[in-house]
Amino acid sequence: MIKFKISWIRWAVTFFSTAFGAGVFYLPQSVGPGVASPNKFIIISLICAFISFCTHYQLYKFIQTSDQKMMLDAIEKSCGCKIAKIMCLLFLISMLSIALINFITIVNQLAPYINSSIISRFILSLTICLILCLSWLKFDRNIEVFTAKVSYFTIITICILAVFFSNFREDTFVSPNYTSSFVSMFPILLFVFNFSPCIQRFVQKSSIISSVKAMLCIGLGTVVILTFIIVFCFSLSHVLNTEDYLALHTNNLDSLSFASRKSGTSSAIIMSAAAILLASIGAYLGTLTGIVDSLISFRLEKKWLSVMSVLAISTLFATLNFSILKTISYISLPVITITIFFIPSIHFLRKKDNIALSLIVLLSGVAALLSVIA
């Protein structure tokens, strides 16, 4: 009989925290039930959740093949040293772009309350990043505990807002001219389920547990992410209409802040800002874990030096508020696909091991890559 442990919940919530970042608040106008039929949204969400579970569990098994329990070492054994270093470096840049987007979101939430000068923004960015990075260094060995504590507040806040928006009633008819197709929805939703940055740490921390227990933990995390994506998107569909979705899409605005301002309730506006802050902080910390662990793979053993390097980069990008990050993030999607979908799948197919799982992940990766290109 499998004995349940509280650490499973911590890791499941850590997976949720890493995936449920700033990008989630742009989902309703892209893939939510307001721009697609509710049935289509639920079906594609369930499909993406299943694929995410398969992909992350396979990645877990793949990293386990390494004696050092590191992704770079696992890829090196499978593909050779040069390819491994190139792919891990590109994956590192992809994780860094995700971390920067979340950090800029944090700064942008607080920037309206300070002087608009670049010096004030620099001080704000440096202060926030210093607090987050020092917190990460302090709780490094039990980062899943610290990240989970942050995420509990995110979960509570999202639940309260979901109840509030679900009771909000307005004509939310959406024109058939503004709908999302399966092809456009698939890659967006699939990558919202991405918590690969913390899988290496999960492998290292859970090396003594069985594969079945690890599978249950990853499955629980996937279910938590799925639940809150559906709850969040459906609750906002009670508030937003066609004109709102068009405005959100055209001006690249986050749906939660927009919906809370539309409600005209000050408490909803405050809680929405808090939810975005907490979710972005959790995603930043989770992704920072992946960045530091990847740098260790490149033999940069001093974690404080890695964290301080990320601090400097984060402060610079948040101060200048680079819009190019969204382009970098979009370009990074093929890199993430190749790293977490293709390489582990091909490795196990060559070994004739986990064939069914590998085929599911490989074909899903091909579909995701074709959807992005299309």
- CA gap 145, 57 in Å, rounded: 21
* Any domain includes 1: no
* Helices within 167-302 (DSSP H only): 182-192, 199-205, 211-236, 242-251, 255-263, 266-297
Rounded mean pLDDT, 142-150? 85
Residue 179: predicted pLDDT? 53
- Using one digit for the tens of pLDDT, what is the confidence trace for 263-281? 888 999 999 999 999 999 9
The encoded tokens of residue 178 equal 């503004």
**Contact 116/319 with Cβ under 8 angstroms?**
no
Residue 2: predicted pLDDT? 53
Model confidence at 361, in pLDDT bands (50, 70, 90)? very high
**Contact 269/261 with Cβ under 8 angstroms?**
yes
CA torsion angle 57 62 68 69 (round to 10)? -10
Rounded mean pLDDT, 323-334? 62
Domain count, the chain: 1
- CA gap 287, 105 in Å, rounded: 14
* Any domain includes 99: yes
Of the chain, the percentage scoring pLDDT greater than 90 comes to 34
Whether 309 has a pLDDT exceeding 80, the answer reads yes
Total Cβ atoms within 10 A of residue 364: 22
Lowest mean pLDDT among 111-120, 172-181, 287-296, 297-306: 172-181
Helices 355-373 + 324-337 axis angle, to 10? 150
Model confidence at 374, in pLDDT bands (50, 70, 90)? low
253: domain range? 6-373
Q: CATH no. for residue 37? A: 1.20.1740.10
Using alpha carbons only, give the angle 120, 124, 129 rounded to the nearest 5 degrees.
150
Distance of CA 199 to the CA centre of its chain: 12
* Any domain includes 28: yes
Task: Measure the N-to-C terminal CA separation of the chain; round to a whole number of Å.
Answer: 47
Lowest mean pLDDT among 18-32, 103-117, 174-188, 207-221: 174-188
Lowest mean pLDDT among 186-190, 201-205, 276-280, 288-292: 186-190
* Any domain includes 228: yes
Amino acid at residue number 4: F
Rounded mean pLDDT, 306-327? 82
Residue recorded with tokens 């601090």: 311
For residue 359, CA distances in Å to 51, 208, 315, 362 come to 11, 27, 42, 5
Residue 4: predicted pLDDT? 56
* Any domain includes 155: yes
Averaged confidence pLDDT in the chain: 85
**Contact 310/133 with Cβ under 8 angstroms?**
yes
Distance of CA 340 to the CA centre of its chain: 14
* Any domain includes 191: yes
Model confidence at 209, in pLDDT bands (50, 70, 90)? low
Rounded mean pLDDT, 225-239? 91
Q: Which helix (H) or strand (E) holds 344?
A: helix 343-350
Nearest residue to 327 (alpha-carbon basis) of 9, 113, 94, 109: 94
Q: Whole-model pTM?
A: 0.88
* Any domain includes 181: yes
Whether 172 has a pLDDT exceeding 70, the answer reads no
3-state secondary structure 6-50: HHHHHHHHHHHHHHCCHHHHHCCCCCCCCCCCHHHHHHHHHHHHH
**Contact 200/72 with Cβ under 8 angstroms?**
no
